[in-house]
Amino acid sequence: MSKPADTSAKKLISLAPDNWVRWVTNIPDIQAGEILSGEFQWISRENDVLIRARSPEYGDFLVLNELQLRYNSKMPRRMRSYAALAEEKYELPTYPVLVNILPTSDVEIPTSFTSNLGGLRAIQDYRVINLSHILHLPSKLLKAR
């Protein structure tokens, strides 16, 4: 059963999927395909919207949309995990996007996850969109409670 956040995000994106994927990726000639299941066998994600997309330059790929009310410091690792799981399940490269709806503080939000263990590195870049900055919402109106 879909969670309210999942349903709302999918509904929002389904209103204009081509416009959505153009906006979150900045790829002008991208076309959205179907909205896929972002649920993985052992992880149920309420806020993910996974879209199959295509562009002449990049071919077929996935746009992984993670919508969060507020940024949380665990997001970089989650973005790495979700992108890898989506690539494994659908056998397509993934363009991950983190959309934060409300501001949290003046903390700079990372745009990648990196780890290094014994010289073996894991790196996952992702795009961050902060709606509060785009909409110029007054931060005192949106303070975390």
The stretch 6-13 carries a mean pLDDT of: 75
* pLDDT surpasses 50 at 107: yes
Local confidence band at 104 (pLDDT 50, 70, 90 cut-offs): confident
**Residue in this structure with the two tokens 């709606």, named with its chain if needed:** 131
Share of residues in the chain with pLDDT > 90 (%): 59
Instruction: Let me know: does 99 contact 71? Beta carbons within 8 Å.
Output: no
Across the chain, mean pLDDT equals 84
Q: Which residues are CB-neighbours of 32 under 8 A, at least 6 positions away? A: 17, 18, 20, 21, 51, 52, 53, 63
Q: Which domains does the chain have, with CATH numbers?
A: 4-135 (3.40.1350)
* pLDDT surpasses 90 at 88: yes
**In terms of DSSP bridges, do strands 120-125 and 112-117 run parallel, antiparallel, or are they unpaired?**
antiparallel
What is this structure's pTM?
Answer: 0.82
| Helical residues (DSSP H) of 26-137, grouped into ranges | 75-90, 131-135
pLDDT attached to residue 136:
57
Local confidence band at 79 (pLDDT 50, 70, 90 cut-offs): very high
What whole-number distance in Å separates Cα of residue 90 and Cα of residue 54?
A: 14
Sign of the Cα torsion 93, 79, 126, 112 reads negative
